Amino acid sequence: MERRNFLRWSALGTVASWLEPASLLARSSPPSRPEALARPLADPSRDAIYRYIDSNLGAHIERIQEYLRQPSISAENRGIQECAALTREYLAAAGCQEAEIVPTGGHPGVWGYYDAGAKKTLVIYWMYDVQPVNPEDWTTPPFDAQVVPDTRWGANGRIIRARGAINTKGPERAFLNAVESIRAVQGGLPVNLMFICEGEEEISSAHMPDLVARYRSRLATADGVLFPSCNQGPDGRADLELGNKGIVYVELETRGDERGGPKEFEIHSSLKAAVDSPVWRLVQALASLTDATGNQVKIAGIADPIRPPTAKEEEMMEALLKEVDEEAIKRLFKVDRWIGGADKREALRKLLFDTSVNIDGIWAGYTGPGSKTILPHKANAKLDFRLVPDQRAAYIIPLLRKHLDQHGFADVKINWSNGYDWSQTDPDSALVRAALDTYSDYEVHTMTWPRIAGSAPFYLFTRELGLPLVMFGLGHGSGAHSVDEYLVIEAQPPIKGLADIEKGYVDFLFRFAA
């Protein structure tokens, strides 16, 4: 349900990946690089694949352009059917024995299966939809997918500028270029691939649970999930995120009813002397949920299931603390002080390991300029709860309802709610190892996050199917959900260009298969 740009916004440090001026996050003296390693994969066939990629790079860029030139704006149902069909064609052309459009209650999914006869199977989570655009704000038309020079990335720097370039059709098509390159040289793949593609990621992934359920028995046989992405920030560092928080989103409402208050329309505010106010009731009910600071959740039982961080998670946090430039992050978000005056360690601990409840919006009555004297007949608020292991999304609304009822707020209605559980990937899984080792091969400094504070429905894979999941990829892009979205095609170190992005996927697949 949560937009992916927010997911990335939400983590300290990961901001670097897609948002400028994220160079703010680079410390004044960059962290020391890992020792440059001899490429461990210097076998002849791998070199042949690399050469294939280098000599076909022009064609590979064209395939990315082709995909990006097909609009697929889910919110506007623009080009969705066409892009689903194109995605299916791509999977078939890449050698998938199964490649099919999957009708859902919304935009269609696409399923693909490549049987390599391999021991291991990798699931590719794929989104083919993109955000809407305001073309007049773009330097070049968002569906022209022009390749243009960009000296930010070196004297010969080039980018491809298009909606979807970084989020996420660019990285996905680059991954498929890598797959085709392996097949072109070797005639096969080191792993089996299951592609599960949705066209609703930007509009809340409403039918993703249905898609997963439909292929559940087959997906459950896999060994991990890759969400292709290009995760280098503008300073070259990459983030690897091992989990995300769960979320429950709820809309509350108070309204005059048989217990008091105006039932159908606002009335004159002087009547407050004798008439109950739904606005006061909502304010009082909300206030009962936290302490006076708004930071300590007071709903009985809500935090009980939270497990303490593991030793490994503590270790990752300590490593992150060395990387994170607290002052830069405060400047980025325009925040002077963490809650309760917390220091950097405590603030990061809360982001990684604590639950929270937030008021996303509240509204009632007159909100224009000046004064209007009314007693509104209704009031609303939107809240989101963030959940960490071992909280469960299914318990939040019952606990909230119980709290409201026990505190005398039975009149506060829950209009609707939705949400899902947290996701967690084992840091010691082969999938994570393959990602970290590949970053290391390419001398990309990596920050490993035990979890990000944001939410994404990856529990579908990690909790329901028990699969590890990583977002992985060399390369850099930005402008997701904004203007002039781009993916860097040609760059100088530490940013990797398209050839390295594709080689990185090749290496990742071989490492994972090993």
The interface with a copy of itself within residues 418-437 (CB under 8 A) comprises: 418
By CB under 8 A, tell whether 249 contacts a copy of itself. yes
- Whichever of 167 and 181 has its CB closer to a copy of itself, that residue is 167
Interacting residues with a copy of itself between 108 and 127 (CB under 8 A): none
Which residues in 152-211 contact a copy of itself (CB under 8 A)?
Answer: 204
Residue 295 binds a copy of itself (CB under 8 A): yes
355 is an interface residue for a copy of itself by CB under 8 A: yes
Q: Label residue 341 exposed, middle or buried (CB < 10 Å: 0-12, 13-18, 19+).
A: exposed
Torsion angle of alpha carbons 330, 334, 338, 341, nearest 10°? 100
| Shortest distance (Å) from residue 407 CB to a copy of itself | 8
- Min dist. Cβ of residue 510 to a copy of itself (A): 35
Token pair 């299914």 is found at 394
Token representation of residue 150? 């960009």
- Tell me how far, at minimum, the Cβ of 247 lies from a copy of itself, in Å: 7
Distances (CA, A) of 193 to 67, 181, 505: 20, 15, 13
Q: Is 365 in the site for a copy of itself (CB under 8 A)?
A: yes
Say how far apart CA 39 and CA 29 lie, in whole Å.
27
Q: Tell me if residue 308 falls in helix, strand or coil.
A: coil
The whole-angstrom separation of Cα 189 and Cα 131 is 33
- Joined together, the tokens standing for residue 456 give 């994404």
Q: 151, 264, 308, 428: which one contacts a copy of itself (CB under 8 A)?
A: 264
CB 65 within 8 A of CB 160: yes
Minimal CA–CA distance to 450: which of 242, 266, 275?
A: 242
Q: What is the CA radius of gyration of the chain?
A: 25
Q: According to CB under 8 A, which one of 362, 397, 414, 430 is a site residue for a copy of itself?
A: 362
257 lies in the binding site for a copy of itself (CB under 8 A): yes
Q: Is 6 in the site for a copy of itself (CB under 8 A)?
A: yes
Q: Considering only 84-92, 146-154, 338-346, 476-484, which stretch makes contact with a copy of itself by CB under 8 A?
A: 338-346
- Per CB under 8 A, the segment of 35-43, 153-161, 273-281, 464-472 that binds a copy of itself is 273-281
By beta-carbon proximity to a copy of itself, the closer residue of 267 and 319 is 267
Smallest gap from residue 376 Cβ to a copy of itself (A): 7
Instruction: Count interface residues toward a copy of itself (CB under 8 A).
Output: 91
383 token code pair: 């809240």
Instruction: Please report, for residues 298, 327, 406, 431, the alpha-carbon distance to residue 399 in angstroms, rounded to integers and kept in the order given.
Output: 11, 37, 10, 36
Contact between 273 and a copy of itself by CB under 8 A: the answer reads yes
Asked if residue 356 binds a copy of itself (CB under 8 A), the reply is yes
Figure out which of the listed residues 261, 427, 450, 479 binds a copy of itself, where binding follows CB under 8 A: 261
Distance CA 485, CA 132 (A): 12
Residue 342 touching a copy of itself (CB under 8 A): yes
Among 166, 364, 412, 474, binds a copy of itself (CB under 8 A): 364
The verdict on whether omega for the bond into residue 168 sits within 30 degrees of 0, i.e. cis, is yes
Q: Contacting a copy of itself (CB under 8 A), which of 245, 378, 403, 476?
A: 245
Residue 287 and residue 357 in contact, taking contact as beta carbons nearer than 8 Å: no
Binder of a copy of itself out of 35, 217, 259, 308 (CB under 8 A):
259
Work out how close the CB of 219 gets to a copy of itself at its nearest, in angstroms, rounded to a whole number. Answer: 27
Closest separation in Å from C-beta 206 to a copy of itself = 11
Among 274, 308, 311, 322, which residue sits at the site for a copy of itself (rule: CB under 8 A)? Answer: 274
Q: Is the dihedral of CA 230, 234, 240, 241 positive or negative?
A: negative
Task: Assess 272 for contact with a copy of itself (CB under 8 A).
Answer: yes
* 236: contact with a copy of itself by CB under 8 A: no
Cβ proximity to a copy of itself: between 160 and 329 the closer is 329
Query: Which long-range CB contacts under 8 A does 209-212 form with residues at least 24 apart?
Result: 209/457, 209/460, 210/104, 210/105, 211/102, 211/104, 211/109, 211/111, 212/460, 212/461, 212/464, 212/465
The minimum distance between CB 362 and a copy of itself, in angstroms, equals 5
Least distance (Å) from a copy of itself to the CB of residue 285? Answer: 9
Element spanning 139, H or E:
none
Q: 37-56: which residues touch a copy of itself (CB under 8 A)?
A: none
For residue 283, the minimal CB distance to a copy of itself (Å) is: 5
Binding of residue 448 to a copy of itself (CB under 8 A): no
Which member of 382, 401, 413, 463 binds a copy of itself (CB under 8 A)? 382
Contact, 156 vs 490, CB < 8 A? yes
3-state class of 10 per DSSP? coil
Where do we find the tokens 């559980």?
421
> Residue 210: helix, strand or coil by DSSP?
helix
By the rule CB under 8 A, 452 interacts with a copy of itself: yes
Q: Of 186 and 269, which has the nearer Cβ to a copy of itself?
A: 269
